[in-house]
Amino acid sequence: MRFIQVAQRAEDLKRAAAFYSALLGVEPRALFDPPGLLFFEIDGVRLLLEKGAPSSLIYFEVADLHGTVASLRNRGVRIIADARMIYAHEDDTLGPPDSEEWMAFIEDSEANTVGLVSRIRTAGH
């Protein structure tokens, strides 16, 4: 079994397309309106923005969390929670060993919360 798709609510597909294109750095793969479906592809997984979908909490890994949050703030994106360390990984149970997991939360164009994650190697590794 392989993870293939996640859906997120979007009332305005044009607005959502602009927001997620800027956030992800890719253009949409497909738009079907009607019935109200907008697709992006990220590393083989489809992100479906759909008028009828419930709101979900999705997380995207970014290389530079602090820089990404600063850039989004400058673009007027609402920052729900600034970057902070969530967890230090001592082993590989949920992330690379000897790393810290940092997260920030933003609000997308459709009032959904989106998590941004960076995994940072601890000093000396």
69-82 pLDDT, tens per residue?
A: 999 999 999 999 99
End-to-end CA distance of the chain, in Å?
33
Confidence bin at 124 (pLDDT 50/70/90): low
Which tokens belong to 117? Answer: 């994650």
- Rounded to whole angstroms, how far apart are CA atoms 59 and 3? 14
- Rounded to whole angstroms, how far apart are CA atoms 120 and 2? 26
Cβ atoms of residues 7 and 48 within 8 Å: yes
pTM for this model (two decimals): 0.89
Q: How do residues 26-64 score in pLDDT, each as one tens digit?
A: 999 999 999 999 999 999 999 999 999 999 999 999 999
Query: What is the number of residues in the chain?
Result: 125
Q: Is the per-residue pLDDT at 7 higher than 80?
A: yes
Q: Is the per-residue pLDDT at 110 higher than 90?
A: yes
